[in-house]
Structure 1
Amino acid sequence: MKTTQFKRAIPLKSLIKRKKGADVDTFSESKDESGAQQKSSIEAHVEKMNNTMGGTSDLIEREIIINTKPLIKGVAFFINGLVDNEQVSDFMLKSLLNDSFDLEEAKEFSNTTLEHLIEKQLLTVSEVKMETDWDKIIHHLLSGNTILFVDGINQAFIGSTEGGEWRSVEEPKAEVAIRGAKDAFIESVFTNMALIRRRIKSPKMQFEMFQLGNSSQTDVAIIYMNGITNAKLVQEVRRRINKIDVEHLLNSATIEEFIQDKTLTIFPTVYNTERPDTAANSLTEGKIVIIVDGSPFVLIVPVTFSQFFKSAEDYYQRYDISTLIRILRYISFTIAVLGPSLYIALITFHQDLIPTRLVISLAAQREGIPFPAFIEALIMETTFEILREAGVRMPRAIGQAVSIVGALVIGQAAVQAGIVSAAMVIVVAGTAIASFTTPAYNLAIAGRILRFAMMILAATMGLYGITIGLIALVAHLASLRSFGAPYLAPFAPFIPENHKDGLFRLPKKIFNK
């Protein structure tokens, strides 16, 4: 008698990229020389599992004798650290080992097969399904589920036992709100989905799951409101996600790079947030949220330029206060981009535009300075960027102190040494403080890059160079799209309805729908 074997194993590929009709590695039945079919033995299942996993030490193999009449041999596999041990013990193994069950009597009563009896009667875990596709079985195993093979059955039982250690839900670190909610996304895709579901208890909210990454097989979920979100937008998001072909997908930044409309731009065209309330609010506006397992930041598409100046705090304060603060953010971003360049242009080319007393004061400060204004600004801006990056990378207890003390000490020492003027230190410091008011970190980085470009234009052509730079900047922003949506909307094109929550935040009674 020949021992039943599996079909040849194929490499683990992305389930989402499997072509319809392609060969699928499944449990098979073999025929002996007489032509009689023999079901796969449990030894063949175990052998294939061990060969696929390569003898990894975190794979737990548990042989069991199922307490039925007659007794049946089984074996369970799970990954140590990815499963909830209590669920594996109480709802998978204990139910199979302790509960006595007469198979023949059950078959006569329910007129069903052995595998369905085990699924419906013996396994008490919350979710159980049967699977024959070997790639899917391995994916479920590596996702924290328990795989059960039963002798004489050509299917694997998959019990939902995901668990292990996860970081608990904590306060937002990057998007702090004084009056807003105090919970933030974590690295678990299912926990993040639940955080949004708690805020929107509507059957219109739909979840779709994907697995991306040929090796990582990372769970990715897209969320949208059925009937509110444009169907073409949903289809376009699916299409772009399906086109992603990478070996490893470990964070949401990878998806952001693949799905954005244009890569040759410093401006972000995909919004990311760590706040569930921001994601929920975007869903009600007809946008799509993308959650990646292992990343505490979710993606939101489409997005406009004005979205990056909005904060969750805006919707927890009165509309007049929120409007004032939002306008202040726009002004601060303008200062962060143009502050040093305007100073360079005025000092170098347009001294006649400065009041006489101020010109005299600035000239006295610059007496003895060996560098032109552009070199001064370049030295101070570069120094401050280095201090800012050092403060971020250093331990939190000393990082902030080092950045602040370093800026004060270096600035004062540079002025006393006659390398830079006191006015330049004030301009650079004010510019740096203004850049911190932008709620979106990635837009603030874009502003920092633009600052250096504007400084070069100001040093070469003065205010004319700044004007040319601004025209090119506006033209570039007008050319950007985020999943087909104009990046400068509702300003260009001008959409009056969307100005209820654009530059101004009008009362909620007005833009409630």
Structure 2
Amino acid sequence: MTNDQSQNSSQSHKRHQDSPDDRTKQIFSDLHLNIDHIKKTLGNSSDIVTRDFRAGKNGEIKLAIIYTEGLTDSASIQDFILDTLMVEMRNSAFDGKVLNNFEWFQQIKSRTLPVGAIMEITDFQKLFHHLLSGDTMLLMDGSPTAIALSSRDWADRGVQEPSSQTVVRGPKDGFTETLRTNTALIRRRIKNPNLWLETKQIGEKTQTDVAIMYLKGVANDKTITELQSRLNRINVDAILESGYIEEFIQDEVYTPFPTVYNTERPDAVAAAILEGRIAILVDGTPFILVVPALMVHFLQSSEDYYQRADIATLIRLLRYLSFFLALFTPSLYVAVSTFHQEMLPTPLLISLASQREGVPFPAFVEAVLMELVFEILREAGVRMPRAIGSSISIVGALVIGQAAVEAGFVSATMVIIVSLTAICSFVFPSNSMAIAFRMLRFLFMILAATFGLYGIILGLIVMVLHLNSLRSFGLPYLAPNAPFILQDQKDNIIRMPHWALLKRPRLINKKDTVRGDASSPKPPE
């Protein structure tokens, strides 16, 4: 072997010895070696606090605690960990027995520490995960095992009213950025031992906690297995919001329609779980994902179930009317005013023609310009400071619309059309579905300007065929309309009284399909 080959082999052997997988696999028995390794791995970060001390009646035990400042409860560390180990253990001789390191470790774990959650850890990978999650690590000299003590306590926003999905009647609490707070909000509503929670870490760098909640015996086992499989296949370095998870698990990528439902309302998630669907909670975001998600779910609001059935049905009918107006109003105006003037009554046609007399642009260009301006104003209102955002967007729309009409760039009818379309788009309970229709609106305007009403009908046929081809975790996206399920029509466009909704959706749940007894009391006739 040449000198160069020997040198390369030596360097390769050294790199193999210093690789992170080998150096961080098992915890060392030497306390100071463990502390040095933790500090070196974390770059001597100033928020990592290390406290080494002696315990026992004669101070014969060398211990150390390590925690991350800002993620832990300093008071509980002082009162329940340090005070117990340094003061109370000094007065306890454990029945006068002489114990070795292993026995001391077990005594501390089982008889000494008044801490709720305790976990033994033998490798550095789990140690770093618990340490950086807010737990306090207890290390003992001579023991290759560490103890993770539950002491998590970080600043959170607290439970507040949801900002994206408001209701007039109904609960006012909303999810927060803390995973445990969110799971508690759901368990508060469903006090059932079959409500199962499974948690895993996704993200090589962030190690984000991702949990799924479902009602065992109600949720479809195939859907649970499929969701677990899709989550296990995610291999990415960071998960910072539930939107990351949504894009990885959705059935269809190339579609404007959402196939994963998101909400920040605990009552909506609890109702979905009771139907047999599965909730996906991601630490660090108040938006919870729900699967499977059908199109009807995006057009329903939690408040539909808190009002009387007749009121909820009327509101849903208005919502579906707004659905068609938001999608087709600009394109219908462009098609009729450009190709099908004979469809309009003569007085209305003369009025529209007189308004457009000085407008230099065709109806299509006029509609596109106004829609683009309104979308820009809406985005500006969202991004600007909340105190002035809404007023700026409203004033901007009024000023620009009035000035454009007076300058002769657009007609007054077009301002009405765009305003009506914008108002109808705000009726959607789900923002993700509203965005989909805002995108399709421009496509239908192009078809209307090219082929007139024939283009709109062609686009509608293609859209329905596309919707019919979509699946959400194997379920048809247009169910219960396509395929048509008669029993599920009680909670579709109309909403029957609660005493009539005794069956869960048939496609979502195939085991425990009964919500209640058919002999439940009904209103007197």
In the superposition, the TM-score normalised over structure 2's length comes to 0.90
Letter in 1 for 2:42: M
Does structure 1 residue 369 correspond to structure 2 residue 359?
Answer: yes
2:166 aligned to 167, 176, 182, which one? 176
CA distance in 1, matches of 2:442, 2:207: 41
Number of the residue aligned with 1:212: 202
Number of the residue aligned with 2:406: 416
Does structure 1 residue 504 correspond to structure 2 residue 498?
Answer: no
Number of the residue aligned with 1:36: none
> Percent same amino acid at aligned positions?
50
Does structure 1 residue 60 correspond to structure 2 residue 46?
Answer: no
Does structure 1 residue 243 correspond to structure 2 residue 233?
Answer: yes
2:83 aligned to 83, 89, 94, which one? 94
CA contact (8 A) 1:65 1:71 kept: yes
Number of the residue aligned with 2:446: 456
The Cα shift of 1:489 comes to 0.3
Does structure 1 residue 200 correspond to structure 2 residue 190?
Answer: yes
1:254-403 matched pairs, under 5 angstroms? 254-403=244-393
Number of the residue aligned with 1:187: 177
The Cα shift of 1:23 comes to 11
Q: What SS does structure 2 have at the residue aligned with 1:385?
A: helix
Unaligned runs of 5+ in 2: 1-15, 503-514, 516-525
67-76 vs 420-429, which moves further: 67-76
The Cα shift of 1:137 comes to 0.7
- Cα distance per residue 1:35-73 (max 9 Å; x no partner): xxxxx2211111111122111111011122224455311
CA contact (8 A) 2:201 2:208 kept: yes
Number of the residue aligned with 1:25: 25
Does structure 1 residue 142 correspond to structure 2 residue 132?
Answer: yes
- Cα distance per residue 1:339-376 (max 9 Å; x no partner): 10000000000001111110011011111111100011
Q: What SS does structure 1 have at the residue aligned with 2:62?
A: strand
The Cα shift of 1:134 comes to 1.2
Does structure 1 residue 432 correspond to structure 2 residue 444?
Answer: no
Q: Which runs of 4+ in 1 moved over 2 A?
A: 7-12, 67-71, 100-109
CA contact (8 A) 1:69 1:103 kept: no
Number of the residue aligned with 2:435: 445
The Cα shift of 1:8 comes to 6.0
Task: Count matched residues.
Answer: 486
CA contact (8 A) 1:69 1:102 kept: no
Letter in 2 for 1:237: L
89-98 vs 272-281, which moves further: 89-98
Does structure 1 residue 121 correspond to structure 2 residue 111?
Answer: yes
- Cα distance per residue 1:148-176 (max 9 Å; x no partner): 11112110011000102111111110000
RMSD: 1.8
Q: Check 1:357–1:51 CA distance in 2 against 1; reply closer, same or farther (3 A cut).
A: same
CA distance in 1, matches of 2:153, 2:444: 51
495-504 vs 314-323, which moves further: 495-504
CA contact (8 A) 2:56 2:92 kept: no
Number of the residue aligned with 1:47: 36
Q: What SS does structure 2 have at the residue aligned with 1:73?
A: strand
250-259 vs 58-67, which moves further: 58-67
Q: What SS does structure 2 have at the residue aligned with 1:105?
A: coil
CA distance in 1, matches of 2:66, 2:378: 49
Number of the residue aligned with 1:72: 61
- Cα distance per residue 1:387-419 (max 9 Å; x no partner): 000001001111101111111111111111111
Number of the residue aligned with 2:70: 81
Letter in 2 for 1:458: A
CA contact (8 A) 1:414 1:420 kept: yes
CA contact (8 A) 2:56 2:93 kept: no
